[in-house]
Structure 1
Amino acid sequence: MTTYIMLINWTDQGVKSVRDSPRRLDAAKKQLEEMGGSFREFYLTMGEYDMVAVCEAPDDAVAARFALLLGTAGNVRTRTLKAFPEAAYREIVATIG
C-alpha cells in the first residue's frame, strides 16, 4: 500500500454544515475502504489547513479517484501528497550518484 497525506480545507458549503462533518468523515472512510484503501490517521488542525488525513491506497489512481470523489460533494478541497516511508527515502537518497 502507498501512503498519502491529504491536506483538507472546508469549502463555504462544508463549514456551514460543520456539524455534519463527522458523518461525512465516516462516509469517506467507508468509501476509501470499498476502494481498497484506509485512513491511518485523521486530525483536525489549526493553521493553513482545517484537517489532515494520512491514508493508504493500493495505487495513485485509487488515491486520485478518492480525492476527486471527495471534491464532488462540495464540502472540502484537498491537496494530496504521496508519502515515502523512511526506508524508501534512504533507498532513494542512496541511489543519488
Structure 2
Amino acid sequence: MTTYILLINWTEQGVKNVRESPKRLDAGKKMLSDMGGSFREFYLTMGECDMVAVCEAPDDAVMARFALGLASGGNVRTRTLKAFPEAAYREIINSLG
C-alpha cells in the first residue's frame, strides 16, 4: 500500500455544517475502505489546514478518485501528498550515487 498525507480545509459550506463533520468523516473512511484503502491517522489541526489525514491506498488512481469524491461533496478541499517511508527515502537518496 502507498501512504498519502491529505491536507484538508473546510469550504464555506463545510464550515456552515461543521456539526455534521464527524458523520462526513465516517462516510469518507467507508468510501476509502470500499476502494481498498484506509485511514491510518486523522487530526483536527490549527493553522494553515483544518485537518490532516494519513491514509493508505493501493495506488495513485484510487487516491485520486477518493480525493475527487471528497471534493465533490462540496464540504472540503484537499491537497494530497504521496509519502515515502524512511526505507524508501534512504533507497532513493542512495541511488543518487
Q: Does 1:77 align with 2:77?
A: yes
Task: Give TM-score, length-normalised by structure 2.
Answer: 0.99
Instruction: Name the structure 2 match of 1:51.
Output: 51
Letter in 1 for 2:60: D
* Deviation of the 1:24 alpha carbon: 0.2
Of all paired residues, the percent bearing the same amino acid is: 80
Q: Deviations over 1:46-75 (max 9, x none)?
A: 000000000000000000000000000000
The unaligned stretches of length 5 or more in structure 1 are none
Quote the RMSD (CA, aligned, Å): 0.3
Letter in 2 for 1:41: E
Letter in 2 for 1:60: D
* Deviation of the 1:91 alpha carbon: 0.2
SS in 2 for 1:53: strand
Instruction: Name the structure 2 match of 1:96.
Output: 96
- Which portions of structure 1, spanning 4 or more consecutive aligned residues, are displaced by more than 6 angstroms? none
**In 2, Cα distance between the equivalents of 1:33 and 1:9?**
21
Instruction: Name the structure 2 match of 1:38.
Output: 38
**In 1, Cα distance between the equivalents of 2:20 and 2:71?**
16
Instruction: Name the structure 1 match of 2:16.
Output: 16
Task: Give TM-score, length-normalised by structure 1.
Answer: 0.99
The unaligned stretches of length 5 or more in structure 2 are none
Aligned length: 97
**In 2, Cα distance between the equivalents of 1:30 and 1:78?**
17
